[in-house]
Amino acid sequence: MSNMKLNRYAGYADFPGPVVTVVMDGMGIGPENESNGIYMAYTPQLDALKKEPLYTELKAHGTAVGMPSDDDMGNSEVGHNALGAGRIFSQGAMLVNEAIRSGFIFQGKAWKEILNRTSKGGTLHLLGMVSDGNVHSHIDHLYALLDRAAAENIRRVRVHGLLDGRDVGEKSGLSYFEPLEQKLADLSREGRDYRIASGGGRMVTTMDRYQADWSVVERGWQAHVLGEGRAFASATEAIRTYYAEDPDITDQYMESFVVQENGKPVGTIEDGDAVVLFNFRGDRAIEISRAFDENDFAEFDRKRVPHVFYAGMMQYDGDAGIPKNYLVEPPAIDRTLGEYLCASGITSFAISETQKFGHVTYFWNGNNSGYIDEKLEKYVEILSDRIAFDLRPWMKAAEITDQVIEAIHSGRYKFIRLNYANGDMVGHTGIPSAIRIAVATVDMCLGRLLKAVRQEQGVMVITADHGNADCMWTEKKGVRSPMVAHTINPVPFIIKDFSGKNGFSLAGVEKAGLSNIAATLCNLLGFEAPADYDPSLITLKQG
């Protein structure tokens, strides 16, 4: 790593304090009206910061973060990849799209083993979220797998479909499951048998992340593998029934269901089967992958562990090798900011609560787990509350702030990064009163950090990874609908320099996005950015 040592930035003057970078998760820049939770919240710190000379706006969605088109919203994973990588890499859906378009997805050893299993009588199980939200999954990818399975004459396929209701409309499940059931019926000819076997809402079935609540994964295991759960004749019957029973229910919180025929589940997972998790995003795919892959798994009682070939759409954790098998190679993100800073002897501190801890570590470091250099780095996770986020919208922001202030005053760290999860996690609830409190909480914490950075004569950088709280609801024909997905709004980028040592000014970068921040941080820390990084947002006034 010594050959990655950064060069000194000419004309730069050292200062005593740290560079503190705050990622306000899910806090973009929306229209100044009452649908905008940030505009409606009490934010004296942000209001003042937006008047700073080193204030600009950045793209945090679409092609600026490696997604296929500018219609695609950003998310925390690709956002933090861009923040830490300093360049744009093909991400998530784009990566899978390319693999499907080229056919490479069906040429690797994973698909060949799937064909081997199914040729011997095994069933192919396709597990994942059924929507076109394009954050965790895309229904087009499921359809591509189904079409290929039919073309290869795989005889028996079972889909275990999770409802979204978060990256798409909150009660849009039928618009995806009805055509899916029709497609499966159309493919069920020439001796093929393709059906939906189980499902449930993403927040209560299968898709837990960061080990926040293993019971979510356990419910998924019971429904998908064991065939245990409330029985229905079809997925659409289940969805309609849940809607009728509770008019307030939204898709993401829908209980699990099992499709039965003649009193028996139509698609339990058995020895000799193949299972593909067709989600492409990693955070909510790791735990269910562990349940399938680990022999010594102990997070819950699996009751029965079928001998199957399990593959992810992608490898969700490269360092930990989760899962062992996968269809699409992950983006190879090398030479991250963290690697350069460690090679240059910079001490750093990274912190967030459970919900976003992986973002300021794993994703920031190019989808790599663990420390780059444990002698120079300190990572701290504050355990998130296991409660609906609208019931405690302040989350763990105060605890994070306490530890960051201690780190600032300690003098041990030159670079500090943190993530406040409030704007995103509470933004996903679509509850305006809670969202305003979440945003005000972050603003209050910014005030505390600004005071500490001022005392130590440091520099503070404030930005966001994507939008969410900036749109709480949409309105059509006078009817408001909660907006629980990310937005495609730009995000703020602010530098507050308390050092008084360097005269930085904005460089006027065109079409600036999150990937420009890494080079900017290099400059703020006294280094020239690597030559192939996207350009810095600032320049040093000479003389």
What DSSP line would sit under 454-501, residue for residue?
HHTT-EEEEE-SSBSTT--EEEETTEEEE--S-B---EEEEEEE-S-S
Judge whether 69 counts as a catalytic residue.
Answer: no
One-letter identity of residue 299: E
Of 343, 375, 362, the residue nearest 419 (C-alpha): 362
Long-range contacts of 382-389 (CB under 8 A, 24+ apart): 382/351, 382/352, 382/353, 382/354, 382/357, 383/353, 383/354, 384/210, 384/212, 384/353, 384/354, 384/355, 384/421, 386/212, 386/213, 388/429, 389/425, 389/426, 389/428, 389/429, 389/434, 389/438
As given in the structure block, the two tokens for residue 521 are: 């941080």
Query: In degrees, to the nearest 5, what angle opens at C-alpha 401 toward C-alphas 400 and 406?
Result: 100
Integer Cα distance of 179 and 187 in angstroms:
12
DSSP-assigned beta bridge partners for residue 379: 350
Cβ proximity of 196 and 125 under 8 Å: no
Judged by DSSP in three states, 446 sits in helix
Integer Cα distance of 495 and 442 in angstroms:
17
Judged by DSSP in three states, 157 sits in strand
For residue 479, count other CB atoms closer than 10 A to its CB: 8
Of the listed 2, 35, 76, 234, which one is catalytic?
Answer: 76
One-letter identity of residue 54: L
Task: Say how many residues make up the chain.
Answer: 543
Helix locations, 126-257, DSSP H: 139-151, 173-187, 214-221, 235-245
CA distances from 39 to 59, 96, 180, 431, 439 (A): 19, 37, 40, 15, 9
Integer Cα distance of 244 and 252 in angstroms:
16
Integer Cα distance of 102 and 106 in angstroms:
9
Please tell me what DSSP assigns to residue 360. I
**β-strands 55-58, 491-497 pairing:** antiparallel
Of 144, 160, 141, the residue nearest 152 (C-alpha): 144
Largest CA distance in the chain: 83
DSSP-assigned beta bridge partners for residue 157: 124, 194
**Residue 59, φ and ψ in degrees, nearest 5:** -75, 140
Integer Cα distance of 86 and 88 in angstroms:
7
Integer Cα distance of 436 and 428 in angstroms:
13
Of 316, 51, 277, 248, the residue nearest 142 (C-alpha): 277
- Catalytic residue set: 76
